Amino acid sequence: MNRITSLFNIKYPIIQAGMIWCSDWRLASAVSNAGGLGLIGSGSMTHDILREHIRKCKNATNKPFGVNIPLLFSEADEFIKIVVEEDVPVVFTSAGNPAKWTSYLKEHGIKVVHVVSNVKFAKKAEDSGVDAIVAEGFEAGGHNGREETTTLVLIPMVKEVVSIPIIAAGGIATGRGMMAAMALGAEGVQIGSRFVASDESSAHLLFKQRIIEAKDGDTQLILKKIVPVRLIKNKFFKEVEEKENAGSSLIELSELLGTGRARKGMFEGDADEGELEIGQISGLIHEIKPAAEIIDEIVSEYHRIKTELEGIDF
């Protein structure tokens, strides 16, 4: 028991990140059933699809689950209405101003968590009344902060300025990583990449396979002039990188990106032409597994490492 397990009424302080194209009701319910908190990633959904997935998730688990809503997403306001109507117990907001919807969600009995990547926005999120903060470091997959602060550095810095519980994200896929996060002052972990490579993830099998093949140095943060995003360095990545290095304009870059690159890569499995958002920690992920097994392994390793650390003395 700690403040995170109490807040969400879950067994383990392990949150599965709500990710576009990868985390629908199947993954969210599998994680919640296994004692963590599963999140539906709404950022790649339409209204109808989101409502359908929330309902399916409720049918698949009687445990708490949540929805991640990127606030800058054009559909965000509509999604807020849907989660209230559908009695979703937890909402994680990201990419936007938490002051906009936090009070409204909390008035409807929803626990609210906001994702930040720097100290200033951690404080702002606390001031807006959220129940907890996800502090996400540079090593995380997908969209990322401009400061490039790593999880190891970010967590204790955020802890200096906020008193609400912190959930560490970025670079965590194992019990060791979880123990490191707790040592830094986090009270829970948000895990993305490891769950993308799960049986229940809606990511395309070819994307999952690229994750388990990925090694040290196979992802990189790119598009810093638009919005920094960590991708696998595939053919598409290299085209974007070349254009960036050649000093291409934002318009040229946006045209190359076009629309649907994330769907193409992560959901349709076009590993060359698509955008593959994943974290550095993919280099430590070697097998596609059921979500429940992933959670069991993380928890077992956490306890094993705890005992090991107790035995070291100086």
Positions touching its own copies (CB under 8 A) are: 1-2, 5, 11-13, 118-120, 137-139, 146-154, 156-157, 160, 170-172, 174, 176-177, 179-185, 215-217, 220-221, 245-247, 280-281, 283-284, 299, 305-306, 309-310, 312-314
Q: How many CA atoms lie within 13 A of 272 on its CB side?
A: 0
Rounded least distance, CB 103 to its own copies, Å: 27
Pairwise CA distance, residues 278 & 193, whole Å = 6
Pairwise CA distance, residues 186 & 170, whole Å = 12
Q: How many other C-beta atoms can be found within 10 angstroms of the C-beta atom of residue 76?
A: 18
Rounded least distance, CB 213 to its own copies, Å: 14
Rounded least distance, CB 215 to its own copies, Å: 7
Pairwise CA distance, residues 36 & 192, whole Å = 13
Q: CB nearer to its own copies: give 246 or 251.
A: 246
Rounded least distance, CB 282 to its own copies, Å: 9
Q: CB nearer to its own copies: give 220 or 254.
A: 220
Q: CB nearer to its own copies: give 47 or 306.
A: 306
Q: CB nearer to its own copies: give 52 or 301.
A: 301
Q: CB nearer to its own copies: give 75 or 147.
A: 147
Rounded least distance, CB 91 to its own copies, Å: 23
